Amino acid sequence: MRTRRLTMAQALIAFLKAQHVERDGRSQPFFAGVWGIFGHGNIAGVGQALQQYPDFRYYQARNEQAMVHLAAAFAKRSTRLRTFACTTSIGPGATNMVTAAAGATVNRLPVLLLPGDIFARRNVAPVLQQLEAPWSHDVSVNDCFKPISRYWDRINRPEQLPQALAAAMRVLTSPADTGTVTLALPQDVQAEAWEYPADLFERRVWTVPRPRADAALVQRTVEAIRAARRPLVVAGGGVIYSEATEALARFAANTGIPVGETQGGKGSLAYDHPQNLGAIGVTGNRAANIAAREADVVIAVGTRMDDFATMSTTAFQHPDVRFIGINVAPMDAYKNLALPVVADARVTLEELSAALGDFRIADDYAARLPRLKEEWEAEVDRLFAVRHGPPLAQAEVIGVLNAFARPQDIVVCAAGSLPGDLHKLWRTRRPGGYHLEYGYSCMGYEIAGGIGVKMASPEADVYVMVGDGSYLMMSSEIVTAIQEGIKITIVLLDNHGFSSIKGLSLSLGSGGFGTEYRARNVRTGQLDGPVLSVDFVANAASLGAHTIRATTHDDLRAALEESRRQPRTTVIVVETDLDHRVPGYESWWDVPVAEVSEMESVRHARTAYEEAVARERG
């Protein structure tokens, strides 16, 4: 047998270079490179290997959490057919990835983490940054990744690597099981050599399958749809991941069945598709949520059916509602006691279209849907036409950007009140034009995520919408964008606080406590002093971005035009009104209110909460 004598780290990088994926006959490299920040736990191992193999590109990030966000965003935009690996030193570098690693797993996105680890041979322990456990020497901070990884392993000997890599690739390329994969790499083992079989480094193609549903379950689904009076499709992110958008468009057009889109599924259909009722759930619109309330058969396609999609199980109020779960992941297909159709979304929609033949929804239902859609579009027009302030209303900013962006452009967001308003209002014209990380809704994702999206779609203009709170958590990746010559446009909304949580606090009777950016008041001892002033224009400029301040509607339009002409990342700072909100529409979210309180506002909120909880399905 032919062998190559390599260090464990060299063998790892040589293997990653050779991995490809194939779906529908199209093959491409799976890994686009490695993001990393070096320290004593990886510089002489993985770092040396990357230097030795410059054809496998190394990218330098500013924050370990950010580079995992970036890898996840790249994988999401690549419909999970490409990703990055991320390497760090041991200790704080490794654990700084935990938050984003959880986000990748929640969102079912493949990311490979390669954190350095403590010495396998132990004789020099404790090493710098080692967290010791009194009950075992075989514990490090990397054990934190176990509950948030879909596969986890520690490579204590160089000859363990081939089996671990095969298992890692099995998970990373699985439509059902993908998420974060963590290979903890003890720093001494990274530098140890072994005679690896040469075929480990040959080109390997991993087929991403399209599993078909059981024929009997497809037939039962057809029967349920034919018997329905008011069927509804709930389209989730799996529609986009499986590239099922055209199949869904045909299915909806042929049957007349309306579609509501989750945060992950928004953009499954063009906003003006006749059957697209738009956003559904807690952050949904009136049209889709009314249809959800009245639906007697709910066809959940590629969605986790989380509490935002189901409005904490209050969305579907028909007394005899039935659920059909079309999902490649069994865990999701079985939710809500659904008829579980465990299969690829695109294949299943195509099979259902063929089996349903000339089926069309009832005439009275078909006649009602256009009115719901027209009424909602009129509401969006009303909100976009608001001329508030200055400071501007958030809906007005969204309207200006939505009108300016081209069909192929992409909006990116993750946290705060922006995702809810974008879900309701953004008019997506092409699949993939709406990129929201809302499974974890992680503050700090936006700028790093925007870089990842741009790397996956260099032909598109990428617009990152971010609030001041999220920007302050992780603006450092602007430097990464400048370093790599990656141009994104960041629209930074400065509302001097946490708008989303202030709104929630008000609804719970807590008056917005702790949600505004104010100085400590010496007299009251509370954070109710003057509003803090942060010069975001100066801050972004110091990181290398082109910066523009926009105060009015016309300023913003002009700033977007200027940004389009700019060759480098641009930050447009817009002050917005913290208290001017887009309302909710036929929706509710279960956030428990204190059962007893000395505050009258909380007692009133508790009464309303108890009334709403009574509508939850068991």
Asked if 440 and 566 sit in the same domain, the reply is yes
Confidence check: pLDDT of 85 > 80: yes
Q: What is the DSSP letter of 434?
A: E
Question: 391: cis peptide before it, omega within 30°?
Answer: yes
- Answer whether 264's CB lies under 8 Å from 199's CB: no
C-alpha 380/C-alpha 309 separation (Å) is 21
Hey, what are 582's tokens? 């887009």
Q: Tell me how many domains the chain contains.
A: 3
Q: What length does the chain have?
A: 618
Cβ burial of 5 (10 Å; 0-12, 13-18, 19+) is: exposed
C-alpha 87/C-alpha 104 separation (Å) is 16
Asked if 168 and 275 sit in the same domain, the reply is no
With cut-offs at 50, 70 and 90, classify the pLDDT of residue 128: confident
C-alpha 254/C-alpha 59 separation (Å) is 47
Confidence check: pLDDT of 618 > 80: no
Give per-residue pLDDT as tens, 234-287. Answer: 999 999 999 999 999 999 999 999 999 999 999 999 999 999 999 999 999 999
What is the pLDDT at residue 500?
A: 86
- Residue 192 resides in a domain: yes
Hey, what are 333's tokens? 């297909």
Question: 567: cis peptide before it, omega within 30°?
Answer: no
Residue 564 belongs to what H/E stretch? Answer: helix 553-565
| Lowest mean pLDDT, pick from 72-81, 171-180, 516-525 | 516-525
C-alpha 465/C-alpha 418 separation (Å) is 8
Give per-residue pLDDT as tens, 352-411. Answer: 999 999 999 999 999 999 999 999 999 999 999 999 889 999 999 999 999 999 999 999
Q: Among the three residues 340, 370, 400, which one is the final residue of a domain in this structure?
A: 370
Give per-residue pLDDT as tens, 565-581. Answer: 999 999 999 999 988 99
Asked if 198 and 224 sit in the same domain, the reply is no
In whole numbers, what is the pLDDT of the chain averaged over residues?
Answer: 96
- Residue 484 resides in a domain: yes
Please state whether beta strands 58-60 and 26-29 pair in parallel, antiparallel, or not at all (unpaired).
unpaired
Sheet strands (E) in 176-316: 180-186, 193-197, 204-207, 231-235, 259-261, 276-279, 297-301
Asked if 414 and 351 sit in the same domain, the reply is no
CA angle, corner 201, sides to 196 and 207, nearest 5?
A: 130
Asked if 234 and 199 sit in the same domain, the reply is no
- Residue 509 resides in a domain: no
- Residue 469 resides in a domain: yes
What domain range is 267 assigned to? 215-370
C-alpha 467/C-alpha 142 separation (Å) is 32
- Answer whether 64's CB lies under 8 Å from 88's CB: yes
Q: Which amino acid is it at 26?
A: R
What is the pLDDT at residue 389?
A: 85
Q: Among the three residues 207, 240, 263, which one is the final residue of a domain in this structure?
A: 207
User: pTM surpassing 0.85?
Assistant: yes
Give per-residue pLDDT as tens, 432-469. Answer: 999 999 999 999 999 999 999 999 999 999 999 999 99
Secondary structure class of 419 (helix, strand, coil) = helix
How many angstroms separate the Cα of 512 from the Cα of each of 455, 517, 552?
39, 11, 27
Residue with token string 């239902």: 365
C-alpha 287/C-alpha 372 separation (Å) is 5
- Residue 506 resides in a domain: no
Asked if 264 and 179 sit in the same domain, the reply is no
C-alpha 364/C-alpha 277 separation (Å) is 17
Q: What is the dihedral of CA 121, 122, 127, 132, to 10 degrees?
A: 140
How many angstroms separate the Cα of 248 from the Cα of each of 79, 193, 197?
16, 51, 46
Asked if 221 and 329 sit in the same domain, the reply is yes
Q: Which amino acid is it at 360?
A: R
Report residue 73: phi and psi, to 5°. Answer: -65, -40
Give per-residue pLDDT as tens, 498-557. Answer: 988 888 988 988 988 988 999 999 999 999 999 999 999 999 999 999 999 999 999 999
Q: Which amino acid is it at 504?
A: L
Give per-residue pLDDT as tens, 7-45. Answer: 999 999 999 999 999 999 999 999 999 999 999 999 999
C-alpha 442/C-alpha 416 separation (Å) is 9
C-alpha 49/C-alpha 56 separation (Å) is 10
Cβ-proximal residues to 221 (8 Å cutoff; 6+ apart), any chain: 299, 324, 326, 339, 341, 352
Closest C-alpha among 252, 444, 243, 493 to residue 347: 243
What is the pLDDT at residue 188?
A: 96
- Residue 523 resides in a domain: no
Hey, what are 616's tokens? 């939850």
- Residue 588 resides in a domain: no
Q: What is the DSSP letter of 463?
A: E
Closest C-alpha among 299, 597, 198, 264 to residue 438: 264
Hey, what are 198's tokens? 């040469």
Q: In the chain, pLDDT over 90 holds for what percent of residues?
A: 94
Cβ burial of 387 (10 Å; 0-12, 13-18, 19+) is: exposed
CATH number for 363: 3.40.50.1220
Confidence check: pLDDT of 80 > 80: yes
How many angstroms separate the Cα of 352 from the Cα of each of 42, 225, 363, 571, 614?
51, 10, 21, 46, 36
Closest C-alpha among 293, 279, 282, 305 to residue 588: 282
Asked if 337 and 444 sit in the same domain, the reply is no
- Residue 77 resides in a domain: yes
| Lowest mean pLDDT, pick from 135-139, 181-185, 545-549 | 135-139
CATH number for 110: 3.40.50.970
Asked if 20 and 166 sit in the same domain, the reply is yes
Confidence check: pLDDT of 88 > 90: yes
Asked if 202 and 220 sit in the same domain, the reply is no
What is the pLDDT at residue 103?
A: 98
Asked if 278 and 182 sit in the same domain, the reply is no
Question: 126: cis peptide before it, omega within 30°?
Answer: yes
Confidence check: pLDDT of 221 > 80: yes
What is the pLDDT at residue 351?
A: 98
Q: Among the three residues 344, 370, 396, which one is the final residue of a domain in this structure?
A: 370
Asked if 391 and 357 sit in the same domain, the reply is no
